[in-house]
Amino acid sequence: MPADAINYGKLAEELNECLSGGRIDKIIMSDKSTLALCIRARGKNNDLLITAATSPRCFLTSSRPKSTDVPLSFCLHLRRHIGGGTIDRISALPFERILRADITARDDLGTPVGYILFIEIMGKYSNVVLTDENGKITDALKHVGFEESRPVMPGITFTAPRDETRFDPADERADALAAGCPPEELPAVMVKRLRGLSAATAAEIADIAAKENVGLSEACRRLLARPVRPVLYRSGGKPTDFCFCAYGTKTDEAEECETLSHAMDEYYSATCASDEKSVALAAARRAVTAALAKQRKKLAGFVKDLAAASDYERERVLGELITANLYKISRGDSTLVAENWYDGNTVTIALTENTPQEDAQKHFARYRKKLRTVENLTEQKAETERAIDYLESVDTALSLADDVSDVAAITDELEEEGYIRRAAARGKKPVSEPRKYDIDGFTVLVGKSNVQNDRITRESRGDDIWLHTQGFHGSHVVIRTRGKEPPQSVLVKAAEIAAFFSKARRSENVPVDYTRVKDVHKKRGAAPGKVDYFGAKTLYVDPAAPDGEK
């Protein structure tokens, strides 16, 4: 994607035209990496989104992010220094992915004070830095220690990153890169040797140079001279890229946009939701995988110890046989051969230097110890098996999650159950609602997490129909009957949906049990999503996605 210095340079021109002279009315942060400046300019409210998170970016957005419940320290710092200030000018550092906003604010006495806000869009090194008019850093979104080559700390002078091993793409030294380099390898060489280029823009410059028979530096200047006509590229209806103008090397479907910010907003709205979900999903999966590994290791230990203690009855029998055959034992005997009256066989019992009575008591003591071990381990083994069953159901729910709100709901559930350490107070969380479908006039609800499964079952009427796959983890499904008897076609379709939203999604002829909600009961202390049900009938169906779902 061409979120590079050239495209951000064009974005800076667009932002300057739109925001210069505007007043910063509000500053918010939705998390420790994302902030928004709400700017009133030219009779219009504008929200400048800045994030240094997984996909760093900066543009005017149509959807203002939600603020944290408690303002973060960097947010308070910005409010104190540039809140209410005026945007004088927005520019970009030449061939760097760094935007510069010159701001005039007022101090406590009303005296005008100049500030500079640097917005660095540089992958994992992205940052937001506020300096005074002389370039001295007042604070930064991310502090970088003095042990690094380019420290970013309050009180020191801001210096822009500069890789002296590279040179600007408009520099005539760039022309030498094409000499002897295969055309198909040239874009990769340009990205490595030139400043501020993405692979897409490097390919476009190389294409201009080849078609118009000019050097790379001249091709770069010709690209920069093109009029700004922002384009959003799509493939299969999904945004794949954006550029400040149409690139001849792009083959996806092109859609012209009013502004570059609009193109970026469309692109990131589609892709970053998926990125956020992926990050949250990976974190939740790591927690579930680790918890499952821990529980399975415990279970293996319990099984091993149970096997070692499972012969406790033999210890009792040996003690009884020694006691019953005391008259046969002479001083110095090392064994006792006696008939086991429980099975009619002859058994040889080892004796020690102790008295026979003491040997018998040792067998009885081992019997009691092994019996207690079996009783305790049987209970712990059952508890561990229940934990594994619950975690496997959570893993299934994660595999069926639609968006980041679903993952957040499952993460909250894991926190409540103690499998994830409860996070510090966060901002407003996205709300996850159960899936809802209409089947021939009947509303069908599908839970997305174990907690949600419990909720939709608990909030349903007794004559509603409850469905769940038999023998597979999956969502609870409820048909809201409103006092009517659903026809067989509705039951079958709901059963197909229950099979689709389960671990048996890729199976055939899946058994799905259904019964009235009044016959579904939850035991006190049972894990989320765990219920007992009675009087169920079974349908055998092939999993099928609801209408409109893939």
- Across 351-489, the runs of DSSP E, i.e. the strands, are 435-439, 442-446, 465-469, 477-480
Token pair of 364 as six digits: 């009885």
Contact 78/140 with Cβ under 8 angstroms?
Answer: no
Percent of the chain with pLDDT over 70: 96
Helix/strand/coil for 502: strand
pLDDT exceeds 80 at position 253 = yes
Contact 16, 134 (CB under 8 A): no
Neighbours of 501 (CB within 10 A): 26
Two tokens at 70? 């408690």
pLDDT category at 423 given cuts 50, 70, 90 is low
Does domain 5-140 fall under CATH 2.30.310.10? My reply is yes
What pLDDT does 2 receive? 59
* Per-residue pLDDT at 548 exceeds 60: no
Q: Given a cut of 90, is residue 300 above it in pLDDT?
A: yes
Strands 477-480 and 57-61: unpaired
Mean pLDDT of the chain: 89
Given pLDDT bands bounded at 50, 70 and 90, which one contains residue 430? low
Question: What span, in angstroms and rounded, lies between the C-alpha atoms of 12 and 49?
Answer: 13
Of 34-48, 216-230, 287-301, 393-407, where does mean pLDDT reach its minimum? 393-407
| pLDDT tens per residue across span 455-479 | 999 999 999 999 999 999 999 999 9
pLDDT at 432 over 80: no
Chain centre to alpha carbon of residue 375:
41
pLDDT digits (tens, 9 = 90+) for 315-359: 888 888 889 888 888 888 888 888 888 887 888 888 888 888 988
CA distance 281 to 404: 8
What is the domain partition of the chain in residue ranges? 5-140, 172-265, 283-432, 435-541
pLDDT attached to residue 550? 53
Structure tokens given for 266: 């469309």
SS3 state of residue 91: strand
- Looking at the predicted structure, is the pLDDT value of residue 297 above 90? yes
Asked if residue 2 lies in contact with residue 242, where contact means CB atoms within 8 angstroms, the answer is yes
Euclidean distance between CA atoms 195 and 201, whole angstroms = 12
Asked if residue 133 has pLDDT above 90, the reply is: yes
At 425, the pLDDT band (50, 70, 90 cuts) reads very low
What average pLDDT does this structure show over 491-515? 93
pLDDT tens figures, 506-529: 899 999 999 999 999 998 888 898
| Helical residues (DSSP H) of 248-259, grouped into ranges | none
Report which DSSP code applies to 260: H
pTM exceeding the 0.85 threshold for the entire prediction: no
Question: What digits encode the pLDDT tens for the residues 372-417?
Answer: 999 999 999 999 999 999 999 999 988 888 777 888 888 888 888 8
Comparing CA positions, the residue from 389, 415, 417, 383 lying closest to residue 503 is 389
Q: Which residue has the higher pLDDT, 162 or 10?
A: 10
Q: What is the length of the chain?
A: 550
Q: Average of pLDDT values for 301-315? A: 90
